Amino acid sequence: MPRRGFTLIELLVVIAIIAVLIGLLIPAVQKVREAAARSTCQNHLKQLGLAFHNYENANGKLPNSKRTEANKIVGVEGAKGWALEIFPYIEQDNVAKTYDRTVDWWTLGDPVAETGVVMTHFKILQCPSSPFPNRFQDKNDAAPRKKGSATDYFTPEGTGGTFDSLLDATDPAIGTKPGALDQALATGDSRTKIVSITDGTSNTFLIGECGGREDIWRGRVRTPALANKTNPNCARAQGGAWATNDNPYALGKSSLWCNAGNAAPGVTTAYAGPFKINGTNESGSLFYSFHTGAAMFCFADGSVRSLGESTRVWTLGAMATRANGETVGAE
């Protein structure tokens, strides 16, 4: 008896069913992956928050948010960001011991070979939701070239001079106020402590997300980084490296790093809004993540919570300051 094969119509029906099942499965897999990435990101922030607290317990103060080039102590403390200070408390003690604190951060890596301590990628300083992991900051428009491994996290330095211009007309002014961490002084380290946070540790940001730097993200549109002011496709969301003293910044209006006449299409002018979480990741703006509809924060009490894109700008400013006396309600 001859064997009966499948007809063309039967094969097409089977293929169509498989295609439908795949179409249903892919979004489910993507949701599972994002949930896992979000959980990992939350865990990173918890570990970083715990490291800040352990640093304070050991040193009697919180670490500097940064040491600027203006406030470096020549031959003793070079320009650098906050991450190095907590390395001993995130199982990176060897890195902290071998890092030469006496020089500026960008001198500790080879920008061509991408070798040296500041070129090292640390998973705990990256959010796995970011679509482009293991990025570099690479400011390459003038000497010295400043290149280093990027992070998706930063420490808000309170609110800056342009912050109140982002508020609704009915919001009370906040002004220029310090955040949980202070930058180092020319005479020594900051002396800020947890007890300095009188607005309440559960209502004050310690770490926030500013993902994707130094690529510029406006909404979900990416402009690849090209940090050279003489290039007509210049684009840079500055402060991306974990080692840089540009990583922390005060909240306010972001400024265009490139010259307007030499900037990539789509970023030829400064960001004009909407001013909200996940609006843009450009330095001096608010907060930016790749989580759907929200960003994650580590508060000064060590807790990690997400805030939605609808969170009022005033609330973000109130939570970015440590001792301004605001009363923050539920969003």
Residue 293 within any structural domain of the chain: yes
HEC string for 148-186: EEECCEECEEEECCCHHHHCCCCCCCCCCECCCCCCCEC
In eight-state DSSP terms, residue 108 is G
Per-residue pLDDT tens listing for the chain (331 residues): 555 666 878 788 888 888 888 877 777 666 667 788 999 999 999 999 999 999 999 999 999 999 999 999 999 999 999 999 999 999 999 999 999 999 999 999 999 999 999 999 999 999 999 999 999 999 998 889 999 999 999 999 999 999 999 999 999 999 999 999 999 988 889 989 999 999 999 999 999 999 999 999 999 999 999 999 999 999 999 999 999 999 999 999 998 999 988 899 999 999 999 999 999 999 889 999 999 999 999 999 999 999 999 999 999 999 999 999 988 865 5
Residue 1 has what pLDDT?
53
Q: Give the C-alpha separation, 278 to 28, whole Å.
A: 24
Residue 2 within any structural domain of the chain: no
Asked if 97 and 129 touch (Cβ cutoff 8 Å), the reply is: no
- Among 154, 155, 168, 160, CA closest to 315: 168
- Domain residues for the domain of 290 are 9-320
Residue 257 within any structural domain of the chain: yes
Residue 193 within any structural domain of the chain: yes
Give the number of domains in the chain: 1
Both tokens of residue 175? 């002004």
Residue 210 has what pLDDT?
97
Q: Give the C-alpha separation, 82 to 103, whole Å.
A: 15
Residue 34 within any structural domain of the chain: yes
Residue 142 has what pLDDT?
87
In eight-state DSSP terms, residue 2 is P
Residue 110 within any structural domain of the chain: yes
Residue 205 within any structural domain of the chain: yes
Residue 174 has what pLDDT?
96
Residue 328 within any structural domain of the chain: no
Residue 327 has what pLDDT?
80
Angle made by CA atoms 65, 221, 159, in degrees to the nearest 5 = 30
